[in-house]
Structure 1
Amino acid sequence: MDRPVRIAINGYGRIGRCVLRALHESPFRDRFSVVAINEPADLETIVYLTQYDSTHGMFRGSVALDGDRLRIDGAAIAVTHAERPEDVDWKALEIDLLLECSGRYSTRGELGRFLKAGCPRVLVSQPCRSAADVDSTVVFGTNHQVLTGQEQIVSSASCTTNAIVPVLDQLDRVFGIDHAFLTTMHSVMNDQPLIDGYHHSDLRLTRSAMQSMVPVSTGLAQGVVRMLPGLQGRIVAKAVRVPIPNVSAIDVVASLRSDATAAAINDALQRAAGERPALLTMTSAPHASIDFNHNPHSAIIDANNTRMAGERLANLLVWFDNEWGFANRMLDVARYWSGLFPE
């Protein structure tokens, strides 16, 4: 494609704003043009929250209000405030790709409304309800080569799936995984209240996000199996929300099929990081979670916390910035799907 790929963002919350920021900071920013944002919030608030972010800091560029448009570094972005896909004339915007970041649509019927309203392709920022609801679910670096450019609806999976799948894939290739138990320690999310309130049908999510660690349900095991079907029936997961604003971790307990040592596991994961340097990295420094804020990797393996109980029971700690890492992977999928770089 000779001209920049014209993209629109539907839903301008945490992920939508991170995607725009990540694109602005990326080396391939000139290959994309954000031409439209649909977000029900008022325009003044949209401009303000683009410029100032409590987690990722001030926007690294100019942000301005220009009539009924948002202007980023001089480039105008049309802003609409529709509640329904049908209420935006996507066809008139002449977009090539919609990034659906609202989190409200998870079935083919729901997402198909964007296609009927004039979007040629939709990239979804969450796992969809079933594999049949999308043409492909993609974890970049694992299976993105399945994309042919003919798909209409593609999911970028979840931040936790993007973080753990490359790690489990390498462990299974080198040592074999008999069973694995995954515990996600996830930063707070906007479905939690700051103080106890009538906020959610899951009673645990009525409790103050900043005063407790809160167990929540997770579809991570299903997400892993969707990417690594050979692990069907061998993955179990649970999740706990922890009172920090960003950066999460996954505690991995894996029963291996061949003998291993902590050093051998770290060596195998270091090789994987060398093969996929934009996705995986390792650290042996004495880190705390804040150190990984704004880290673009899918996963950071904490080498100091690789442990063995006997010769086949392994324990690992995997860090990830659940906002920034995922936003960067979503852009990688968009870039590959749009044919902007060979693989």
Structure 2
Amino acid sequence: MTIDNAAETTTGTASRARASRRSVLGSIATAGALAGLPTGAFGLQDDAAGDLEAVAEFEPPALPENLAVDEQGTVYLSMGPSGEIRAVDSEGNQSSVATLETGDQGLLLGITVLDGALYAANGSGQQETHGIWRVDPEDGESERIASLSPDEPMPNGIVPDPTTSDALLVSDHLGGAIWRVTTDGEATPWVSDSSLEPDMDAQTPVGADGLAAHPDGDVYVGNLNAGSVMRVPVADDGSAGQVEQVVQDEGLVGADGMTIDEDGSLYVAVNAANEVIRVTDDQKIETFTSGDPLDFPADVHFGTTKETATSLYIANFAYGTFLEDEAAADPSLARVDIGTAGYFPETVGETSDTAGEDGADDDRTGDDANETADDG
């Protein structure tokens, strides 16, 4: 299904000038460096996390922008500039799954897993490839299930819809919206709100980005420009309620991918600050982890197996370093044990016996939550 600026109609705003994802991310990295964004701004909790470790390292232009984890524990990463989807198994072995065409200025962004298939947000900016893609992780066969107009909608984070087993939620970081895309390709605006819009006068025009499902049934979304986290109440029929602000802070500017643990705490990859921030269920903000090997972290996701249930995976996009000196960039997949399992909501008719107290299935259980996914 082709969507021609439907989000604009929903928000009633004027058409926005299109900004390429690469130039946007370059501005984020540059702005962060120039502003001297502090690390440990909220006070690092030394006893909260184990040691950060690099699980896998990559060579540019393989820069991991987003990640997803299947029920076997295989991690899938969207390599932004190259458009490649890379798999890292439980032993750390890497393999290439597929490569989607991103064009000269586009990026492959959010990625998630649903019913054994991979779904990816391709921000190529090209009429032929811009939109949501489904990829078979076994043979790499790929198809675009929902095309988006490259003039404005910029798909970023992507997670399974926690209220059903056959749909995804996709953040639109230029349109200030979240789309609902069914697995058969029907795409409709799920919610749009001024609090999700980017600041088009800023150096970094990115609004709605990371998405995650909360144990209370709401969907959380971050606004990268505003340094805010918003809550979208979800009705019994799966429709979205009025968007509400959960928290806003200068230290959250650059908020990218996010995920939620079983206690309701939110973990946010704040790319420009090279930190993972935790927002507790009572809105307390703290730097959860920072330092090597974090390098422009763009997404976080919990492990899905019994062995990795309390592991937080981090995609180090390394974009700032890449822009300054490609040879010095050190993109990686990192991991830290946090002592708490991730939250994986069960959808209608779904049960599982893998990770967590109640079990976790694939990324249908939330991302980044992906993000779920994922998934930005």
> Which TM-score applies when normalising by structure 1?
0.29
Q: Which structure's relative contact order is higher, taking Cα pairs within 8 Å and 6+ residues apart?
A: 2
**Structure with greater proportional helix content:** 1
Pair member with larger Rg = 1
